[in-house]
Amino acid sequence: MAVVNAPTSSAREEETLASAEQTRPAGRGRPRDASRDAALRQAAMEVLSQVGYRALTMDAVAAHARAGKATIYRRWDSKLDLVIDTCTQLVQRNIPEPDRGSIEADLGDFLRSFASFLTGPVGKAAQALVGELPHEPELAAAFRESFLLPQRDVLRRLIERGVQRGEIRADAPVDTVVEITGACLIYRLMLTDEPLDTGFVDRLVNEALMPLLHG
């Protein structure tokens, strides 16, 4: 998977996609125009959320960004690579971690903000990638690392703080609650035609998460 500002040939697969931003060694010729990165990613995002992954064409992205296709392929190896990087780029540091002293308040805050984030263009883009996951291990890894894990980790920390505060019983099924939470958000986002809104989040917290945690 190509990495922005790194020679395509360099293999640094072990790194996280998130830390992809990196500079070319030094170079003798004209330096890369960093503004093209942003323009291309934005173009990709626009096209992706408008027509979906399958109907996204590299020519369309190039045209949207008034760029040449080579300028894209100099940065990313493939259409898939471009889309992955574009999406993960946006997820980074978009996950706030509330700490208001109450597990119920923290849960609500976090889920509401995460839900509204998923409702945006990133959510649409993510959905477009789901179909590719089984046949693209790299994509699958990146997807989990960028979309699933961070949300999971924040959530787990929230709950653990609640445990330490004594709000939650010690033997609460944390893993299960975390999984349920992620699953329900994604489910509504991608499969159901029901809204992923505040009402839903509140109901989820009150009827499922809190009861399970309180035992």
Phi-psi label, residue 170: left if phi above 0, alpha if psi -120 to 50, beta otherwise:
alpha
Nearer to DNA, 59 or 153 (CB): 59
Amino acid in position 184: C
Q: Does 70 bind DNA (CB under 7 A)?
A: yes
DSSP state of 30: P
Nearer to DNA, 83 or 168 (CB): 83
Beta-carbon count within 10 A of 95 CB: 15
Amino acid in position 185: L
Closest to 110 measured CA to CA, from 10, 49, 178: 178
160 binds, among a copy of itself, DNA, none (CB under 5 to 8 A by kind): none
Q: Does 67 bind DNA (CB under 7 A)?
A: yes
Q: Does 132 bind a copy of itself (CB under 8 A)?
A: yes
Which of 42, 71, 102, 113 contacts DNA by CB under 7 A? 71
Please tell me the count of residues contacting DNA according to CB under 7 A. 31
Q: Does 204 bind a copy of itself (CB under 8 A)?
A: yes
Q: Does 180 bind a copy of itself (CB under 8 A)?
A: yes
Distance, CA of 66 to CA of 215 (rounded, Å): 57
Closest to 208 measured CA to CA, from 177, 185, 167: 177
Q: Does 36 bind DNA (CB under 7 A)?
A: yes
Q: Does 31 bind a copy of itself (CB under 8 A)?
A: no
Distance, CA of 126 to CA of 123 (rounded, Å): 5
Contact 125, 45 (CB under 8 A): yes
Residues that bind DNA (CB under 7 A): 24, 26-33, 36, 56-60, 62-63, 65-71, 73-75, 77-80
Residues that bind a copy of itself (CB under 8 A): 51-55, 124, 127-135, 140, 143-144, 147-148, 173, 176-177, 179-180, 182-184, 186-188, 190-193, 203-204, 207-208, 211-212, 215
